[in-house]
Chain A
Amino acid sequence: MSKTNELPMPKFTKVRYKAWALDRMTPSNEKTENSYFLSNEQGIEISGISTTYYQLDQELIDQGVILMSVIDAQKKHSELFERLRGQVVFDETDQLTYQNAHQFNTGIFLYIPSHVTVHDVLHLTLNQLATSEADFVARILIYVGDNASVNILQTLNTIGNKVTKASIVVEVIASESSSVQFNSIDALKENTSAYINRQADVRSHAQLDWHNVAFNDGQVVTNLVSQLNGENAISHANVIAITHKKQTQGFVTKVINYGRHSVGHIFQRGVILNRSNLIFNGVGKIIKGAKGSDAQQESRVLMLSRHARGDANPLLLIDENDVTAGHAASVGRIDAEQLYYLMSRGLSEKTARKLVIRGFMGDVLAKMPTKASKQYVIQAIESKLIDEDK
């Protein structure tokens, strides 16, 4: 671990997170028999370091699909796992990637061979057991082969309420002509300070879309990156976030166009309540030679409290002439006229706000792949609003 000191901390512009001490973690070995969320879905649930739920169609197993905890993967498919790991998020990028690479002791491995289509939504549920003071250090590694396709719902949850830290690194390889819908709901609890880093290697003619619902209650920095490494690679990186109470959530959402005619769109929507902070950094980067590529981004923040702080910082870094690019960013308050209009039809202020917020986040909400996940998002918006003293 000597190296950690030489590497920089990752950069989250305008987010002050040093005091969270995310570079010092002690991985937890908490185990359990309980599964907390899944009961008859396709997928896997990992709680602490235990696999507490597993279900995968025999047909998929026969086609060579691998779904298991990283602990099992390191035993049963160690060569494959080690070959793929660290290809998208390099171990030595910064202190936090280095730390995760050397300390993770739980997580999920998913391998989908070429030409395999997974029809059902695949649930990847990762639960931090905050029942001791130790931290949660997890890794998710996903390989999707050529022409394969999958729709994933990955959730992050906290069980228990001890004061802890968490580091979660997710690597996705979307091989040529594959299609990946990566939906995630981050719902870590108030006492967990976390670093989340999701990155995808999107190869030629592949499409990978993120729909990230960032509804954590604690202090969190999130890095979401699509590397468009092949010709015609496409990625839409969509994020919705709510911050409340005194929490801070900071984001760097980034798409890098390496491939010709690659398309990267960032879309972020955030709502800020109480005394919380929400910072969206959007980065669109086009590398020289990525002719005909497209980088667009839109980040909007809605402040529902006078004491809140919000930022939306767009950044376009373009080294190629033959491209299209654009950005829009805004930080606004809920429009008093809109609220008045809704209330003049009899809606209480609370209901009116809820409708406006839900509407504000509607595009990503609509993309949630299951009824349960949609319902969760709606429910979570309501419960965060309840805490708002108005």
Chain B
Amino acid sequence: MTTLKIENLHVTVADKEILKGVNLIVKTGEIHAIMGPNGTGKSTLSQAIMGHPAYQVTQGSIYLDDKNLSEMSVDERARAGLFLAMQYPSEIQGVTNAEFMRAAINARRDEHNQIDIMTFIRKLDEKRAFLSMTEEMAERYLNEGFSGGEKKRNEILQMMMIEPKIAILDEIDSGLDIDALKVVSRGVNHMRSDDFGTLMITHYQRLLDYIVPDFVHVMMGGRIVKTGGAEMAKKLEDEGYAGLRDELGLDITLTDEDAD
């Protein structure tokens, strides 16, 4: 079993403190969801875990089992078993999707035990078909010219190829049509096992109908303010964040306070 343990995490971006003491434990075998208003720090949390250089940890710690992530580079964290499906994946001209995924798999293997091309292609074909992606996608440049939905699907394809221990999925459902949402959910559910844990960031309860979480966390003002089960997402959908905030007596201004 692998455990991602976040304790009292404070993170600063561009001299502004965004995370103000996050505590969270994600174990393999578990599915967690994080919900919360725009700009509250959800992506910041995921980037800080992955090690994006713009996000500075000023207090607290992130451990993957006994490894202190703060002491590891981005690629070391990835090879230790972390994966981040990004809210806005980069486009990289000239590097094909297939070449990239093979390099990512090989980065986890030692020099004398690189994946052979046939095994790789077989695996890629299988996962690709599972996600209803065309063969041509593999030979296209990494995310270049991909539609929003195609990029999300491609993030899931990479996850299935790399088989991380803990995956953070930042708004993997945004911009997906109904069918694509089902396909992507199928991918995540397929990964579900005792050796895989995930932390999904989402705005929509709908995703959680397809991927039923064990835990739902609500983040507001840079902290996790409430944790519950799958049913909590439904309640949030009905009552909004302002209701929860007032119920908890928190002093936080929400961006879209006056929306309704």
Using a CB–CB cutoff of 8 Å, the interface residues on chain A facing chain B are 335-338, 340-349, 351-352, 355-356, 358-363
In the assembled complex, 14 residue pairs joining A and B whose CB atoms fall closer than 8 Å, in A order, are A341-B90, A341-B92, A344-B77, A345-B158, A346-B78, A346-B79, A346-B104, A346-B162, A347-B103, A347-B104, A347-B107, A351-B103, A359-B92, A361-B94
- The reply to whether B99 and A347 form a contact with Cβ atoms under 8 Å apart is no
Given A341-B90, A359-B94, check contact A346 B141 (CB 8 Å): no
Interface pair B53/A356, CB less than 8 Å apart: no
List the B residue with the shortest CB-CB distance to A336.
B53
Q: Does the CB pair A359–B90 fall under 8 Å?
A: no
Chain A residues touching B, majority SS: helix
SS of B interface (majority): mixed
**Please, which residues of chain A bring their CB within 8 A of the CB of B63?**
none
A-B contact count (CB 8 A): 75
Does B94 lie within 8 Å of A356, measured CB to CB?
yes
Bound Cα distance from A337 to B33, whole angstroms: 26
Question: Given the complex, which residues of B lie within 8 Å of A347, measured CB to CB?
Answer: 75, 103-104, 107
**Closest A residue by C-beta to B78:** A346
Total count of chain B residues near the partner, CB < 8 A:
29
Q: Interface of B with A (CB < 8 Å)? A: 50-53, 73-75, 77-79, 83-84, 86, 89-90, 92-95, 99-101, 103-104, 107-108, 141, 158, 162
CB distance from B168 to the nearest CB of A (A): 10
Nearest B residue to A365 by beta-carbon distance?
A: B94
On chain A, the residues within 8 Å of B77 by CB distance are 344
In the complex where A343-B75, A345-B78, A356-B95 touch, is A338 in contact with B104 (Cβ < 8 A)? Answer: no
Report how far A341 CA is from B78 CA in the complex, Å: 11
Residues of B within 8 A of A341 (CB): 86, 89-90, 92
Do residues B90 and A335 form an inter-chain contact, with CB atoms below 8 A? Answer: yes
Give the one of B89, B93, B141 with max A CB within 10 A.
B93
Q: Nearest Cβ distance between residue A317 and chain B, in whole angstroms?
A: 30
Whether A344 pairs with B93 at a CB distance below 8 angstroms is: no
Residues of B near A361 (CB, < 8 A) are: 94
Q: Which residue of A lies closest to B74 (CB)?
A: A343
> Chain A contacts of B94 at CB under 8 A?
356, 358-363
* Cβ contact within 8 Å between A355 and B107: no
Q: Is the beta-carbon distance between B104 and A340 smaller than 8 angstroms?
A: no
Task: Tell me the smallest distance from the CB of B198 to a CB of chain A, in Å.
Answer: 16
Which of A340, A342, A348 is B100 in contact with, Cβ under 8 Å?
A: A342
Query: Chain B nearest CB: distance from A386 CB in Å?
Result: 16
Q: How far is the CA of A346 from the CA of B77 in the complex (A)?
A: 8
Minimum CB–CB distance from B128 to chain A (whole Å) comes to 17
